[in-house]
Structure 1
Amino acid sequence: MRPLLLLLFLLPAALGAQPGTDEQLATQYFQQGDYERALLYYEKLYRQNNTPFFYDQLLKSYTALQRYDDAEKLAKERVRRSDDPKYLIDLGGVYKLMGDEDKARQQYDKALKDMRADQNGVRTVANAFSKEGEYDRAIEAYERGQKLLRNDQIFNYELATLYAAKGDMERMITSFMDLLAVNENYIQSVQNSLGRYIDFEVRDERSDLLRTELLRRIQRDPSREIYQDLLIWMYVQQKDLTSAFVQSKAMDKRSQGNGDRLMELGDIALSNHAYSTAVKCYQYVADLGGGLPNYPLARIGLVQALNEEVTAQAEPAQEDLIRLRDEYRRTLDELGRLPSTVKLMRGLARVEAYHLNETPAARSTLEQALALPNLEPATEAQLKLDLADVHVLDGDIWEASLLYSQVDLDFKYDLIGHEARFRNARVSFYAGDFLWCQAQLDVLKASTSKLIANDAMEL
């Protein structure tokens, strides 16, 4: 008796779970390309619940198996039960597969004719055409939608993507530009799309079309900065930073700006090792005057760009190094030796110590930095490492070891502390204190930093 009661109790739950199991199996077989088995389940599911999803999957299964008569019957039934033009397009797609182009065209024409003045409805019809590969019809749907809605400024993004799918780059670009004319907030979406459809690493017809259209619109309406920004963006994608600088400079002068675009471009140029362009960008902003908010950052960027430009050379000229050192000092004299300019002071010390062999000046620069109030602990530690390295250059091993040990003690469990211990061990090794050196290296070999651990093992 008890087994029978248990069976009766579990049976409703099992029956209730069956549709979910059928759907899972149908999906699995469909994804595996086993359309015969998928069809068995989708026919059953559609009879139980004729949702649009089950309809779509059933139609796809029929067409995949070339059961076009069944597909036609299914689509016709849907057309009778719904006034959604999408189903006319489905029926037209079936006729196209059957090779009956006339019947397909009749259904497509009727779908376009039955469209209403509704944005979502227009998109549904256009998307249905797109899925059939009928891009011209999809374009026609959007254009008819613009007329029905009496608004020729909508659907520009959708039209642009359809033109791209057709390979019509000229009309794609025009549609994207029309979209920005209406709503500049689409700039990121437009840039992303252009990046997909145009290879900016090569100069070809597509990038030339974009450049020509942008210049045409800039000339027609110089006050619309969005097209100028997009042109600068295009030059950056092409790594043509010189042209980007010329355009950014002209734009900033025309709008009497404060150099924001030039600062951004300078940072991009610096990260791309285009040091001469970075110098021009920062110099332009610095020349605007000290009263602007970008001035301090421009002066700092200018020195950093000059530093990279000079020190990147295999054998920098002595006069270039002296000019770089003097630029560092002038900038620090103007901006002040402050916690916010410590990075500049460290850069100056490197030039003095490692390029000009002016170790006393480098020590003085770093000691001034260490004497500044309210330094961040990590900044102070880095300055101590820099100063210790200069002491090593001078052969003052004990003073260097003292500074390394201070950083090691203060940051025992941090990467900078491990770095300090490694440098201390290296100094001890070259000084001949092998036992102490070995003890420190044994600890570092277990470091969580792979780089430090590898350095320790190499030493």
Structure 2
Amino acid sequence: MKRIVLLFLLLAAGSLHAQDEILANGYFERGEFEKALLTYQKLYEQSKNNTYFEKIVESLQQLERYDESEKLLMQRLTKQNYPPVMVELGYNYQLKGDQNSADDYYNKAIARVDENPSYSFGIARRFEDYSLLEYALEVYKKGMALNPDYNFSLQMARIYGEQGNIEQLFSSYLDYLELNPSFLGNAKRAFSDFVSENKENENNRILRVLLLKELQAQPDVYWYDLLSWLFIQQKEYNKAFTQEKALYKRNPESLRRIIDLALTSLTANDDETAIAIFNYILENSQDIQTVLLAHQYLLDLEVENADIKTLESVDAKYQALIEQYGINEQTLGLQIGYGNFLAFYNDQPEAASQFLKESLSLPLSVYEEAEIKMKLADILVYQERFNEALIYYSQIQANVKNSSISQEARFKVAKTSYYKGDFDWAESQLKILKASTSQLIANDALELKLLISDNKDEDSLQTALKLYAKADLMSFQNKNERGITLLNKILTEHKGESIEDQALYMQAKLFEKTNQLEKAVANYEYIIANYRDEILADDAYFYLAELYETQLAQPEKAKDLYEKIIFNHQDSIYFVEARKRFRMLRGDAIN
């Protein structure tokens, strides 16, 4: 019983102690330093905790009672002779305005490092606490010079960052990385706060020069890795490729990094570099899946800007690859790619469907079967055989429930119903998809639902919406010029109706696809001028800015448009990207 009572009393005392500490910290944060001082003194009497002692000194200093804090620090120094206390005492003199005494104690503390280098970290940290950064750097350097086992490069990098000395910051991180290669990922994260997409940025130039020097001195893999990373930040994918090839020669076991760079180049529309990388992959890979993947991307790139003669060449290449590698589970991606090419680019939907149906006879998983059926359904939509397409999409939903491909199939059910003019059914499906776990599908579903709900009641026959859906279908069928013509009909016959801005926007995107950039600019500008308060205003601003930046070489116009999004469309999905591009065009470092 006595033990229980004793335990209860100890717990109660601990609880009261914790409450007093919270109370003292609260007083200090609110600037009630008299109350904080009394509470910290009470806590220190109970536990002699060094943290409370430091808070007593800080409270006295805040109250400008420097003589009292000096007395306490002198007593502590007499008892412990611990050098960081010399820094505290020096700082107390500095607060009093006695800089000579302050410097004297600072120098005494630094001199103690010569006697015992193990003091260096504690002394330097105390200098950092008081923002005496030059003194801290001096101590860190002295400590490392006296004991080669010490490495304070990270601490020094932090100080150089506070001072704005970016070159020394980079150098310190690189020094640390040389001794600790596992720090590479952390180094990239640290550097990302200082480098920009703009290769002319001074910080980029400094880091590039330092890395090239390191490579010349000692060509270790992490220097190649960092230099490749820097070139990727600058969107110089061809230069990154040079570094990645050097890395691969040192470790030829995996092409994963080079494949990732190829896909990054592709996403950034640097087709020339992507083609070079995929060809390099073909030359160096023995893995069939990797080889087939490279072939597929190369064929896709060839098709994008193909004329009739090129299409014949692509067809021959597909057939040669299928003959070489056969029709089996390994070449499934190639088979789907060929089916897509035949239908959507060579206008042979029947041949494409027949070819893909043969693939269904292979021993496939339910997901592989779903992929083929998805492409077969897409081809049926291309042929405007909507009901047959809906059967395939519904089969996918039933066979692979709760998967991403199932949700994609549900969206395509809604889109197909929209193409055929069944707007109510499409809208009901889109309401469900708004909660999709795939953000991309959820966004597409919301966008299409808003289009339908905003325009289906415009007139009882839904004429304009049906024309718009037909133009959308033509875009899907790669019949872009016909889609543009149909949208012109909407803009002429339904001018002033709610669908006008949607038609202008879709037509602008088709103008871009067909390289009619001036017409695309005109459409975006018309939306901005006449629909600045409507839902597509931020889209028009962003894509017009992108055109000026990437296609028309007018960065100042692009910068002005991105700025419009930043100030007038803070809730836009383009806000973050617009701010990033604006800052990059202005020459800022981009985090």
**TM-score interval (norm. to shorter):** 0.7 to 0.9
Amino acid at match of 1:43: Q
Q: Does 1:73 align with 2:71?
A: yes
The C-alpha deviation readout for 1:255-301, integer Å capped at 9, x for no partner, is: 7776454334223323433332122112112123x5x34x6415413
Equivalent of residue 383 in structure 1, options 351, 368, 372: 372
**Pairwise CA distance, 1:117:** 7.7
Q: How far off its partner does 1:250 sit? A: 4.7
Partner of 1:4: none
Asked whether the 8 Å contact 2:377–2:390 carries over to 1, the reply is: yes
Match of 1:280 among 268, 276, 279: 276
Ranges in structure 2 where 5+ consecutive residues have no aligned partner = 1-7, 437-441, 454-591
Pick aligned residue for 1:407 from 388, 393, 396? 396
1:301 aligns with 2:291: no
Q: Is the 8 A contact 1:117 1:148 kept in 2?
A: no
| CA distance in structure 2 between the partners assigned to 1:79 and 1:236 by the alignment | 54
- Pairing 1:174-253 to 2, within 5 Å after superposition: 174-199=171-196, 201=198, 203-222=200-219, 224-250=220-246, 252=248
Distance 1:216 1:413 in 2: 53
What SS is found at the alignment partner of 2:269?
Answer: coil
Cα distance 1:418–1:269, how it changes in 2: closer, same or farther (>3 A)? closer
Deviates more, 1:318-327 or 1:74-83: 318-327
Q: CA deviation at 1:82?
A: 1.9
Unaligned runs of 5+ in 1: 1-9
Give the Cα–Cα distance (whole angstroms) in 1 for the partners of residues 104 and 29 of structure 2: 33
* Kept after mapping to 2: 8 A contact 1:303/1:324: no
1:7 maps to which residue?
none
- Report the CA distance shift for 1:309/1:206 in structure 2 as closer, same or farther (over 3 A): farther
Question: Aligned in 2, Cα 1:335/1:139: closer, same or farther, shift over 3 Å?
Answer: farther
- State the AA in 1 paired with 2:98: D
Residue in 2 that maps onto 1:137: 135
Paired with 2:225 and 2:85, the residues of 1 have a C-alpha distance of: 43
Residues 114-123 or 100-109, more deviating: 114-123
Against the structure 1 CA distance between its residues 438 and 188, is the aligned structure 2 distance closer, same or farther, given a 3 Å change threshold?
A: closer
Which letter does structure 1 place at the counterpart of 2:162?
A: A
Moved more, 330-339 or 273-282: 330-339
Deviation at 1:244, TM superposition (A): 1.1
State the Cα distance separating 1:363 from its structure 2 match: 0.9
1:21 is aligned with what amino acid?
Q
Would the aligned equivalents of 1:153 and 1:178 in 2 still touch at CA under 8 Å? no
**Among 152, 161, 166, which residue is 1:164 paired with?**
161
What SS is found at the alignment partner of 1:282? helix
- Alignment partners' CA distance in 2, 1:164 and 1:430: 57
Amino acid at match of 1:183: N
In 2, Cα distance between equivalents of 1:165 and 1:129: 14
Structure-2 change in CA distance of 1:191 and 1:117 (3 Å): farther
In the alignment, the residues of structure 1 paired with residue 225 and residue 191 of structure 2 have an alpha-carbon distance, to the nearest angstrom, of 14
Q: How far apart are residue 406 of structure 1 and its match?
A: 2.5
Which residue matches 2:383? Answer: 394
Alignment pair present for 1:36 and 2:26: no
The residue matched to 2:226 in structure 1 has which SS? Answer: helix
Give, in whole Å, the separation in 1 of the partners of 2:420 and 2:182. 64
CA distance in 1, matches of 2:12, 2:366: 66
Q: Do the aligned partners of 2:224 and 2:246 also contact (CA within 8 Å) in 1? A: no
8 Å contact from structure 1 (residues 282, 299) kept in 2: no
Report the Cα offset of residue 156 of structure 1: 2.8
Secondary structure of 1:196's match? coil
Specify whether residues 249 and 368 from structure 1 end up closer, same or farther in structure 2 by C-alpha distance, changes over 3 A only.
same
Which whole-Å CA distance do the structure 2 matches of 1:118 and 1:325 have between them? Answer: 77
In structure 1, the residue corresponding to 2:193 is in which secondary structure? helix
Q: Specify which of 339, 352, 355 is matched with residue 349 of structure 1.
A: 339
2:576 corresponds in structure 1 to none
Cα distance between partner residues in 2 of 1:64 and 1:399: 80
Q: Give the letter for the 1:410 counterpart.
A: N
Amino acid at match of 1:102: N
TM-score (norm 2): 0.65
Tell me, in whole angstroms, the C-alpha distance in 2 between the residues paired with 1:199 and 1:133.
28
Is the CA contact (8 Å cut-off) linking 1:366 and 1:383 kept in structure 2? Answer: yes
Change (3 A) 1:165 1:380: same
Select 1:122's aligned residue among 120, 123, 127.
120
Aligned-partner SS, 1:111: helix
Instruction: Note the aligned Cα RMSD (angstroms).
Output: 3.5
Q: Which residue of 2 aligns with 1:6?
A: none
Aligned in 2, Cα 1:431/1:217: closer, same or farther, shift over 3 Å? closer
- How far apart, in 2, do the equivalents of 1:409 and 1:140 lie? 70
- Looking at structure 2, the residues matched to 268 and 24 of structure 1 have their Cα atoms a distance apart, in angstroms, of 51
Query: C-alpha deviations, 1:304-347, integer Å up to 9, x for none?
Result: 25525753x6xx54445454454444444444434344333323
Amino acid of the structure 2 residue aligned with 1:307 = D
In 2, Cα distance between equivalents of 1:29 and 1:279: 65
Residues 122 and 44 of structure 1: CA distance in aligned 2, closer, same or farther (over 3 Å): same
CA contact (8 A) 1:283 1:298 kept: no
Give the Cα separation in 2 of the matches to 1:266 and 1:16.
61
Q: 1:193 to 1:451 in 2, by over 3 A?
A: closer
* Structure 1 letter corresponding to 2:81: D
Q: Which one-letter code corresponds to 2:293 in the other structure?
A: I
Paired residues of 1:29 and 1:38 also in contact (CA < 8 A): yes
Between 268-277 and 329-338, the greater mean CA deviation after superposition = 329-338
| TM-score of the two chains, using structure 1 as the length reference | 0.81
Is the alpha carbon distance of 1:22 and 1:163 closer, same or farther for their aligned partners in structure 2, counting shifts above 3 Å? Answer: same
CA distance in 1, matches of 2:310, 2:116: 68
Give the Cα separation in 2 of the matches to 1:199 and 1:63.
Answer: 43
Shift of 1:23: 0.8
Cα pair distance change 1:37/1:261, threshold 3 Å = same
**Bigger mean CA offset, 349-358 vs 327-336:** 327-336
Is 1:371 matched with 2:361?
yes
Residue-pair matches, total:
439
Distance in structure 2 (CA, Å) of the matches to 1:205 and 1:305 = 36
- C-alpha deviation, 1:238, in angstroms: 1.7
Q: 1:107 to 1:117 in 2, by over 3 A?
A: closer
Q: SS at 2:87's partner residue?
A: helix
Deviation at 1:424, TM superposition (A): 4.8
**Greater CA deviation, 170-179 or 416-425?**
416-425
**2-structure distance, mates of 1:100, 1:24:** 34
